[in-house]
Structure 1
């Protein structure tokens, strides 16, 4: 079903961009109609083949799939700009004298904007600093640095060199603990010998901890868990541990499949936080689902960390994401609980981001001042 939707949407965007570009005098005067549309057909066939072949991580099928996803992103961004030009010109009927200039401007803007989105998607994630004041945090832990990373999506687009770069970024922040907030892989387990050795390069005295995301379950989740465990990562699957005296860390299994099937999906959280404990708790939950947020607040969580939304990734999809997850990017205060939903370090689909790049979150924990 997903491939069918991609085929339909991608075809419509491709045809619209091709037709609008060929309507430009500068293009028609240099390329025959036959040559243009034969070329457009060949590009579309490559796009169609890429969607059908699938996103196999490390073999030859990676290239057509990545081309298809990238082309989908490029044509979407260009369509936004060309549509704006069409609206300003009344689709060529109201401002005929200016139609060529407006469409040319739209085409140039689309190319530049797509190039910028590719740059933002491929660049290293930025470091975002956030101070978090937590009630009941022991004074001895004031100033503790926690690094949180979500939506790495290791696989076809991001491999050994990319992960090694992120390990270096994280180590430079000198964290006490590193938290991986889900979607560590694109779909299938990485299945590469470099994964364990690269992950073991992370330096965090209080450990490297992870929770599952929805993408772990699109492939063989149990194998993915074992691969990361071999790299020294410890998983919290509806489980709570004590990071330090007065500071607990809890993580719940991804709730994506249960959200799609309907009904209550807070049972894992209820089991994990069954009773109050001394000090304060950090909760890792991949999806910032409103019932999970509310249940975490009611159970006295001091800080909840999530990802999943990618901050919308490509504008204007953020508005659609916000309809599902009202708290979809950034810091929020929820009835005394602090919540941060990170945009994630990687990307899904086209390796593009518009407007903001991926991020790695550095959290500095602060004890609340005495009353």
Structure 2
């Protein structure tokens, strides 16, 4: 069903963008109609095949799948200014003397936007620093650095070599602990011998900890868990640990399946945390669902860390994401609890981001003054 939807949307966008581009005199006067149609048809066939083949395999089938996702992203971004130009000119019936210039300018803007989105999606994630006061944090832990990373989506697009560069970024921050907030994989286990040594290179005295995201369960989640465990990653699946004296780290299993089925979203949290106990508590929950946020605050969590939303990834999808998750990006004060929702280090679908790049979060914990 998902591939059918992608084919319909991609086909409509492809027809619209290629037709509007060929209506520009500078293009139509230089390229024969037959050549344009044949070229557009060939590109569409590759897109159609790529959607059907998918992007999971790492043999020759990898590139058409990647092309399909990237082409879909480019078409969407280019369609935005082209549609704006059509609305402004009444699809060429208004401002006829200027319609060509407006449409040509929109095409150039679309190309620039697509190039920028590709750059933002492929560049290294930026480091975002945040200080967080935990009301029960012991003075001895004041200044403790925690690094959080989410939505790396290892798979066909990103492999262990990409992760190794992120490990270098993280180690440069000298974290006491590294927290992986879910969607470590695109869906299937990574299946690379280099993964374990790459993960073991993370230098964090208080450990590397992870929770599951929805994408782990699109493939063989238990094999993925074992792969990361071989690299020294410890999973918090509806359980908590004492990260250091006076500091608790808790993590809950992903709630994506429960959201799809209409089940309880807070059962795992209830099993993991009791009522407030006067101990500084950090909670990892991949999806920033409202029910989980409210329950976490009620159970005395000081800092809740989530991902999943990608910050909308490609504008204007951010508005749709925000309608589902009102606290969809950045830091929020929830009646004394700090919620931080990261836009993630990787991406899903097209390797594009509009407007902001991926991020890795450096959190400096502060005790009350």
Under a length normalisation based on structure 2, what TM-score does the superposition of the two structures give? 0.99
In structure 2, distance between residues paired with 1:74 and 1:6: 14
Q: How many Å apart are 1:263 and its aligned residue?
A: 2.9
Q: How many Å apart are 1:275 and its aligned residue?
A: 4.4
In structure 2, distance between residues paired with 1:202 and 1:58: 26
Give CA deviations for 1:191-243 in whole Å, capped at 9, x if unaligned: 01000000000000000000000000000000000000000000000000000
In structure 2, distance between residues paired with 1:136 and 1:347: 35
Kindly indicate whether the alpha-carbon contact (under 8 Å) linking 2:276 and 2:298 is maintained by their aligned counterparts in 1.
no
Q: Helix, strand or coil: the match of 2:46?
A: helix
Aligned to 2:325: 325
Q: How many Å apart are 1:276 and its aligned residue?
A: 4.0
Aligned to 1:257: 257
Q: Helix, strand or coil: the match of 1:100?
A: helix
Q: How many Å apart are 1:277 and its aligned residue?
A: 3.6
Kindly indicate whether the alpha-carbon contact (under 8 Å) linking 1:286 and 1:306 is maintained by their aligned counterparts in 2.
yes
Q: How many Å apart are 1:279 and its aligned residue?
A: 1.9
Give CA deviations for 1:61-82 in whole Å, capped at 9, x if unaligned: 1100000000000000000011
Kindly indicate whether the alpha-carbon contact (under 8 Å) linking 1:246 and 1:278 is maintained by their aligned counterparts in 2.
no
Does residue 356 (structure 1) correspond to residue 356 (structure 2)? The answer is yes
Aligned to 1:47: 47
Aligned to 1:210: 210
Aligned to 1:225: 225
In structure 2, distance between residues paired with 1:56 and 1:316: 27
Q: How many Å apart are 1:33 and its aligned residue?
A: 1.0
Does residue 112 (structure 1) correspond to residue 112 (structure 2)? The answer is yes
Q: Helix, strand or coil: the match of 1:110?
A: helix
Aligned to 1:168: 168
In structure 1, distance between residues paired with 2:276 and 2:97: 71
Kindly indicate whether the alpha-carbon contact (under 8 Å) linking 2:275 and 2:300 is maintained by their aligned counterparts in 1.
no
Aligned to 2:97: 97
Aligned to 2:78: 78
Aligned to 1:290: 290
Aligned to 1:64: 64
Aligned to 1:150: 150
Q: How many Å apart are 1:145 and its aligned residue?
A: 0.2
Kindly indicate whether the alpha-carbon contact (under 8 Å) linking 2:183 and 2:212 is maintained by their aligned counterparts in 1.
yes
Give CA deviations for 1:35-85 in whole Å, capped at 9, x if unaligned: 111110110000000000012242221100000000000000000011111
Q: Helix, strand or coil: the match of 2:360?
A: strand
Aligned to 2:312: 312
Q: How many Å apart are 1:284 and its aligned residue?
A: 0.1
Q: How many residues align?
A: 369
Q: How many Å apart are 1:365 and its aligned residue?
A: 0.4
Post-superposition, which runs of at least 4 consecutive aligned residues in structure 1 deviate over 3 A? 275-278
Kindly indicate whether the alpha-carbon contact (under 8 Å) linking 2:277 and 2:300 is maintained by their aligned counterparts in 1.
no
In structure 2, distance between residues paired with 1:264 and 1:165: 38
Kindly indicate whether the alpha-carbon contact (under 8 Å) linking 2:171 and 2:202 is maintained by their aligned counterparts in 1.
yes
Does residue 22 (structure 1) correspond to residue 48 (structure 2)? The answer is no
Kindly indicate whether the alpha-carbon contact (under 8 Å) linking 1:138 and 1:279 is maintained by their aligned counterparts in 2.
no
| Structure 1, gaps ≥5 residues long | none
Kindly indicate whether the alpha-carbon contact (under 8 Å) linking 1:241 and 1:249 is maintained by their aligned counterparts in 2.
yes
In structure 1, distance between residues paired with 2:95 and 2:287: 47
| Structure 2, gaps ≥5 residues long | none
In structure 2, distance between residues paired with 1:346 and 1:38: 35
In structure 1, distance between residues paired with 2:226 and 2:277: 30
Q: How many Å apart are 1:274 and its aligned residue?
A: 2.5
